[in-house]
Amino acid sequence: MIRSDRASQLPPARRAAPVADGRPRRVWRRLGIGAVALVVAVVLALGVFLFSVYQGVHRSSALGADAQVSMNGPVDMLIMGLDSRLDENGKPLPEDIYNALHAGEASTGGLNSNVLMYVHIPADGSAASVFSIPRDDYVDIPGCPDGVCKAKIKEAYGLAFDASQRALARQGKTGDDAYQKSRDAGRSAEIATVNQFLGVRINHFTEVTMVAFFQIAQVVQPVTVCVKQDTQDSYSGANFHAGKQQINAQQAVAFVRQRRDNVHPQLEFTDLDRSRRQQAFLVSLFNQLKQANTFLNPAKLSGIIGVAKQNLVIDSGLNPLSLAPIAANLSGTKLHFYTLPVERFGTDPSGQSVNIVDPTAVRQTVQRLLNPPPPSTPTPTPTPSPTSSASRTTTKKHPTTPTPSAVAPTPVDATGGGTAGPAPTALTDLSGAGVACVK
């Protein structure tokens, strides 16, 4: 397994508006002008503030010509969550962060994209779709970085990073600039791999590290989640009871990382359950942010901004000010989560466990969900005349056979024989309490 970290290279961070009725016109006018001036001042201040905020966020040109500058068309975004225990600059984290993460030290992990989510937001504002891509899907890697042409989809980033870093070193280029160029090479490779695997064209991306997730959870905690049964896992630190519960930041990390249960082995966790955990957490978090007006809370907003500037990377064409109203509109039945199916578990030539997938079937599934066929118009049933003898005859009804396009594919259960039920299916809509109960 290739690990791409720099730990070894570093030396030992509102009032009601006045009513015009019954008041002199000049007073109303003064008040009106004063109110307008106040609104303009606030808007200008907010605009400058937000501009300075996203100006401070790390930006990457890894998308190249595919980067979308205007937000008028569809948004096809890739969210990459890295398993690195370093920050976005490759620096080690404070010791208390490692203790809270329950996920090893600076040398643990690498630049694998352990979380991969493809987000499609149509240009017409209709329902958005979020596809979780299982991290161990065994796929072709464009360009064969490091001489590896097929690997787990999560490894494309690290392989390309490693190849780029070594190539730059041979040219005598090292240090922070070379490191960031290699990170861009990793991002480009991961995006190209997802484009090829799903048959899409990514035009935006966001990259976060594990610590960014933890720090955002610290700002917004507690978050409400729900599990179907008691579960405990010493590896991730998970220890949850059945039902809804509020969890803190440290528990949130365990919640989204859990993929086994060493106390209740009969639950038969798989890596796909971890993907559903991540989806469920995002659903709860998204609703909580909207319901609590988090972005009107200066303290919480300041905390999120600090995390974004330190441990978040976005593409050079992404304008958060344009994306914000789009995100605010994603509620109710306008956001669907899917987990892409796998055919079975297997091993690669080196003996590592992988997900065996059918790329053609995956691409067809994605395209069918993004471009559903128009609903068929039912044929009207003629109403028999009341005087007709036929009206007294009971006609036997036959069950309706669904059309092939309405039938979702059924994957092989990742634990062995049998089926895991129809997939992909919507995990939940952002409606009601917005809490999805998962395994």
* pLDDT for position 283: 80
Query: What percentage of the chain exceeds 70 in pLDDT?
Result: 65
Q: How many CB atoms lie within 10 A of CB 217?
A: 23
* pLDDT for position 324: 61
Residue indicated by tokens 């003064």: 30
Across 352-361, 376-385, 423-432, least confident range: 423-432
Find out whether 98 and 106 touch, Cβ atoms under 8 Å. yes
Q: How many CB atoms lie within 10 A of CB 245?
A: 16
Find out whether 190 and 156 touch, Cβ atoms under 8 Å. yes
Q: What is the DSSP letter of 83?
A: -
Q: What is the DSSP letter of 430?
A: B
* pLDDT for position 367: 92
DSSP string, 320-357: HHHHHHHHHT--BTSEEEEE----EEEE-TTS-EEEE-
Q: Count Cα atoms within 13 angstroms, Cβ side, for 71.
A: 14
Q: How many CB atoms lie within 10 A of CB 228?
A: 11
What are residue 130's DSSP bridge partners?
119, 337
Q: Torsions phi, psi of 318, nearest 5?
A: -85, 125
Integer distance in angstroms from the first to the last C-alpha of the chain?
29
pLDDT digits (tens, 9 = 90+) for 300-331: 666 677 777 777 888 988 876 666 666 666 65
Report CA dihedral (297, 302, 308, 311) to the nearest 10 degrees: -130
Measured CA distances, 84 to 350, 363, 417 (Å) = 23, 29, 34
DSSP string, 245-297: EEE-HHHHHHHHH----SS-GGG---HHHHHHHHHHHHHHHHHHHHHTTGGG-
This prediction has a pTM of 0.72
Question: Average of pLDDT values for 70-81?
Answer: 85
Four-residue CA torsion sign, 257, 235, 419, 266: negative
